[in-house]
Amino acid sequence: MTDVPVSRIRNFSIIAHIDHGKSTLADRLLQVTGTVSSREMKEQFLDNMELERERGITIKLQAARMNYTGEDGEQYVLNLIDTPGHVDFSYEVSRSLAACEGALLVVDASQGVEAQTLANVYLALEHNLEIIPVLNKIDLPGAEPDRVKGEIEEIIGLDCSGAILASAKEGIGITEILESIVHLVPPPRDTVQEKLRALIFDSYYDPYRGVIVYFRVMDGTLKKGDRIRLMASGKEYEIDELGVLSPNQVQVDELHAGEVGYLAAAIKAVQDARVGDTITLATAPASAPLPGYTEAKPMVFCGLFPTDADQFEDLREALEKLRLNDAALQYEPETSSAMGFGFRCGFLGLLHMEIVQERLEREYDLDLITTAPSVIYKVTTNTGEELFIDNPSHLPDPQHREKIEEPYVQVDMITPEEYVGTLMELSQSRRGVFKDMKYLTQGRTTLTYELPLAEVVTDFFDQMKSRSRGYASMEYHVIGYRENPLVKLDVLINGEPVDPLATIVHRDKAYYVGKALVEKLKELIPRHQFKIPIQAAIGSRIIASEHIPALRKDVLAKCYGGDISRKKKLLQKQAKGKKRLKAIGTVDVPQEAFMAVLKLQ
Amino acid sequence: MKSPLAPLPPTAAYLHIPFCRRRCYYCDFAVSVVGDQQRGETSRAIAQYVEVLCQEIRATPNLGLPLQTVFFGGGTPSLLSVAQLQQILAVLEDHFGFAAAVEISMEMDPGTFARSHLQGYLAAGVNRVSLGVQAFQQELLAACGRTHTPEDIETAVALLRQEGVQNLSLDLIAGLPHQTMVDWQESLERAIALQPTHISVYDLTVEPVTAFGRWYQPGVAPLPTEEATAEMYRTAQRYLTAAGYTHYEISNYAKPGFQCRHNRVYWENQSYYGFGMGAASYTQLQRFTRPRKRAEYFEWVNQLQQAAGQIDCPPTTPEECWLDTLMLGLRLAEGLALTDLTAQFGQAKVDQLLQSLASFSQCGWVQFQEAPTGKRICLTDPEGFLFSNVVLTHLFNVSSG
């Protein structure tokens, strides 16, 4: 690796909405700078995880160091620090932006600015980043660069006279982008002489080398063999391996202020080297850590129970392994009278929750029952004690509580004008408080609501997408707790309360939710040889009730030569469906029933 | 699991005659509709089909044993001309040979055949007739798209009796749209009064790709409730056993000595030949279903001839064979003999089976019997039969681990 002076380093990230072409552009930059040969180029080099590729989103960050000879003949080192593209991971975005001096704002020239992009641009502006607007997909017939430029200027207030017209796919505008990075993005401050401070912007667990930490050296110098201290966790390690990402790991002996790299130091779990923590030298520690470190706090909770009780230990092991690599994942054992042993898990958001569930089922081959997501409620008891409740079944009885507060978020949506009505209706129906509406440009509107987080973590995002035919986008951030008249809605199956089905709802919606919930459960729970009452109750008061009629027969009338194969398939399908049932007392309940509260019309 | 013994070579042959005057509203079989005026004597489509069917028989390897049973199903086999039936039977006999006591069954629909046809079929060798009666009420017959009337039933039975058909089976359907318990009792009584040797009682299955599938939902009016059809099933069991019929299979009743030997082959999980459009065969452990569409079936026969009669299809695995044996054998009142199961699948498999049936024995659906030939397990009649799928799906899950 060539040693370059700080003045010829440029650190930048790319801000873009899903599908606006971030990964393609990143790939193209790697290719044009010769960092990755065309032969090595898998499509979308930076999205490594199988799930990321499938969903077309970036979950874990990556970084890449590129050598670039500018048109001025100078050798530059360009470090691209990738950012995850989802609202659940905004803390990680802020840390990777803090490691940069500039950002490419990539906007699809046929679409325009989306809510998530906007949120990230504001984050970048907070960090004083130089922002270079790039209009991507300029080759598409629907491209409207002038309209989109106008939109960026109006919405963000960013001068777009110098915006680069590009097509990452076709290789248009790539050199211009590289030159702009060199000329517009400021070099890092030259603080090589100061005490070491390096910012961790990502880490992952490697079973052979321990945690691999990705960092940006902000001040000073770091050498292989140095003893380092992580300022937030206070832990000390000796560096076994130091290197840069090009984008594959290449070992070096030393990194100095301005450079981006990775290290391995036999760190056992990612929570020991959290994103945002500051690395300093144990022998000559910096006096203060870099600003901005917080521990990512889970916002959404759910119970995870193995369908088969024998898988409990497997589930524990799988969660332990995932946690090595995911500091934001929290879990603790949960025992439910209905479900047996499982775990209460905390996630950054719904996507994070889905990803973890999917990985558990896919990579660890577990059959799981997931209970409906819940948020953390703040309950004040009669004795003035404040409790944080992440599990509806743990809510103290009404006579013991003074008040319940629930987390609120500000939701910003950007939508074509014609969907404003239906999105307002959606927000109102979810107890939203209207805050603001702005016409951005012709046909595009921002809509701001304050909503209880509990209403957002159900199917708000899916509803927003389907009501706007996929055109609207949203972003949310927590704004605090508010008191509301909330009640616990219990569900009784065959007379027995089923705690994982309990949910906390607004008093005014309780009757409606209870009725819809028992109707949905009636649909989802198969018939048994006996009649099964299903009831929704608040305290001891039944507010809705249905019953599943008894099964009177289950028999194949005909089975002759020609029927055998088909009838067997039928039975096999029926058998498979049965297998995924969870026995609650004498009633077998399918997995979907535990998510029923999310599927109410 | 120990590798099960391959079944003996087939001694049964099923022939599919896929022609009907009209399609009944509940039917999802492979059939082609020829209209009210056509029969084998006049229809070019039928003539051509019989040719291809005979080619298929000739192209199929003879696995060594003469046929004990032959079954003409459909469709409406009674639309065949006498000459066509003779030709098919001649080709079959020539190719495989017939055992001395061969059972030759033929499905016939009231109103589709004249005395002369019947005389010709019987002369050609047919010695068992299965008559598609379904119901004895005109409105019910019309509501399910049948072309015959209650009078046609009486006429057909009289004709069969006059021509000396002894071994006669009637089909009835329970759970038809608008059918009441009174209708059902009347149908049972009238069927019994005709003194057939065999009665099949089918609970209506609403298949998705049928007219009924589009119009009706099981258990929802005008179809009788599930409770009502379960009661119809029990009523049939009471009436027919009282009249001297043995309930020998979930949907079948027979006077002593008149069980359908051909159909027992299926339930005993033995091998059988199959010929014709959509027909299934089980030969040399291969379960194979022929194309359901005419042109594809013709093309397939063509290929079969070129492949010297070899069918391209994987053999049934021991595990599949085990499930087939359970699914089919438990349909019979006599159930399964433990010694046979042990000989074929091994002690471990049978122990597991007995263990997983214990809870069903407690609730009265499964019985362990001591027969002179050894221990047997069977479903109880009628409750075990009525919930047979609950038992089977449990066994399937236990088996798949």
Output the DSSP codes for A417-477: GGGHHHHHHHHHHTT-EEEEEEEEETTEEEEEEEEEHHHHTTTHHHHHHHHTTT--EEEEE
* CATH code where residue B199 lies: 3.20.20.70
* CATH code where residue B325 lies: 1.10.10
Q: In angstroms, what separates the C-alpha of B162 from chain A's closest C-alpha? A: 30
Residues B252 and B323 in one domain: no
pLDDT of the residue at A58: 46
A571 chain-B contacts, CB cut-off 8 A: 327, 389, 392-393, 396
Cα gap B65→B54, rounded to integer Å: 19
Token duo for residue A461: 């995002």
Residues B247 and B363 in one domain: no
Q: Is residue B85 in some structural domain? A: yes
Is B205 within 8 Å of chain A by CB? yes
Question: Cβ contacts of residue B36 below 8 Å, gap of 6+?
Answer: B21, B22, B147
Q: Is residue B392 in some structural domain? A: yes
- Candidates A312, A211, A225; CA nearest to A262 is A211
B274 chain-A contacts, CB cut-off 8 A: 561-562
Q: Is the predicted pLDDT of residue A579 greater than 50, yes or no? A: yes
pLDDT of the residue at A85: 61
- pLDDT tens digits, A132-183: 999 999 999 989 999 999 888 888 888 898 899 999 989 999 999 999 999 9
Q: Is the predicted pLDDT of residue A292 greater than 90, yes or no? A: no
Residues B256 and B326 in one domain: no
Cα gap B300→B278, rounded to integer Å: 11
- Candidates A262, A222, A268; CA nearest to A241 is A262
- Candidates B283, B298, B286, B265; CA nearest to B62 is B283
Counts for chain B of helices (H) and strands (E), in that order: 15, 16
Q: Is the predicted pLDDT of residue A18 greater than 80, yes or no? A: no
Query: Buried (b) or exposed (e) across A227-238, using 16+ Cβ within 10 A?
Result: ebbbbbeebebe
pLDDT of the residue at A580: 75
Residues B112 and B208 in one domain: yes
Lowest mean pLDDT among A107-116, A292-301, A331-340, B325-334: A292-301
Question: Cβ contacts of residue A446 below 8 Å, gap of 6+?
Answer: A115, A155, A412, A413, A414, A436, A437, A438, A440
Report the SS3 class of residue A7. helix
Q: Is residue B285 in some structural domain? A: no
Contact yes or no for A369/A308 (Cβ under 8 A): no
- Candidates B141, B140, B117, B138; CA nearest to B129 is B117
Tell me which DSSP letter residue A348 carries: S
**Cβ contact B250–A562 (<8 Å):** no
Residues B369 and B234 in one domain: no
Chain A interface test: which of B237, B264, B327 (most A C-beta within 10 Å): B327
Number of residues in chain B: 401
B387 chain-A contacts, CB cut-off 8 A: 529, 551, 553-555
Contact yes or no for B216/B222 (Cβ under 8 A): yes
Residues B157 and B56 in one domain: yes
pLDDT of the residue at A476: 84
| Domain span including residue B367 | 318-400
Q: Interhelix angle for B338-345 vs B347-362, to 10°?
A: 140
Q: In angstroms, what separates the C-alpha of B48 from chain A's closest C-alpha? A: 23
Is B362 within 8 Å of chain A by CB? no
Residues B202 and B343 in one domain: no
Q: Is residue B126 in some structural domain? A: yes
Residues B335 and B259 in one domain: no
pLDDT of the residue at A2: 62
Cα gap A460→B10, rounded to integer Å: 62
Contact yes or no for B324/B392 (Cβ under 8 A): no
Lowest mean pLDDT among A401-415, A477-491, A573-587: A573-587
Contact yes or no for B74/B107 (Cβ under 8 A): yes
Q: Is residue B201 in some structural domain? A: yes
Q: Is residue B283 in some structural domain? A: no
Q: Is the predicted pLDDT of residue A35 greater than 50, yes or no? A: yes
Is B380 within 8 Å of chain A by CB? no
Residues B341 and B214 in one domain: no
pTM of this prediction? 0.69
pLDDT of the residue at A24: 85
pLDDT of the residue at A587: 92
CA A530: distance to chain centroid? 43
A559 chain-B contacts, CB cut-off 8 A: 250, 266-267, 327-328, 331
Last residue of a domain, one of B234, B267, B300: B267
Query: Buried (b) or exposed (e) across A50-86, using 16+ Cβ within 10 A?
Result: ebbeebebbbbbbbbbbebebeeeeebbbbbbbbbbb
Question: Cβ contacts of residue B214 below 8 Å, gap of 6+?
Answer: none
State which amino acid sits at residue A282: A
CB atoms within 10 A of CB B89: 20
Any idea which residue has 């902000």 for tokens? A218
pLDDT of the residue at A492: 95
Lowest mean pLDDT among A31-40, A267-276, B69-78: A31-40
Which stretches of chain B score pLDDT less than 50?
A: none
Q: Is residue B6 in some structural domain? A: no
Q: Is the predicted pLDDT of residue A113 greater than 80, yes or no? A: yes
Lowest mean pLDDT among A116-120, A216-220, A297-301, A445-449: A116-120
Strand A9-16 relative to strand A75-81, pairing = parallel
A562 → chain B, closest CA residue: B280
Strand A260-264 relative to strand A210-219, pairing = antiparallel
Lowest mean pLDDT among A83-92, A210-219, A311-320: A83-92
Contact yes or no for A241/A219 (Cβ under 8 A): no
Is A37 within 8 Å of chain B by CB? no
- pLDDT tens digits, B259-274: 999 999 999 999 999 9
Residues B128 and B239 in one domain: yes
Contact yes or no for A233/A280 (Cβ under 8 A): no
Q: Is residue B333 in some structural domain? A: yes
Question: Cβ contacts of residue A250 below 8 Å, gap of 6+?
Answer: A1, A243, A244
Last residue of a domain, one of B245, B267, B289: B267
Last residue of a domain, one of B267, B283, B308: B267
Residues B371 and B231 in one domain: no
Residues B121 and B212 in one domain: yes
pLDDT of the residue at A534: 97
> Considering its fold, how many domains does chain B have in total?
2
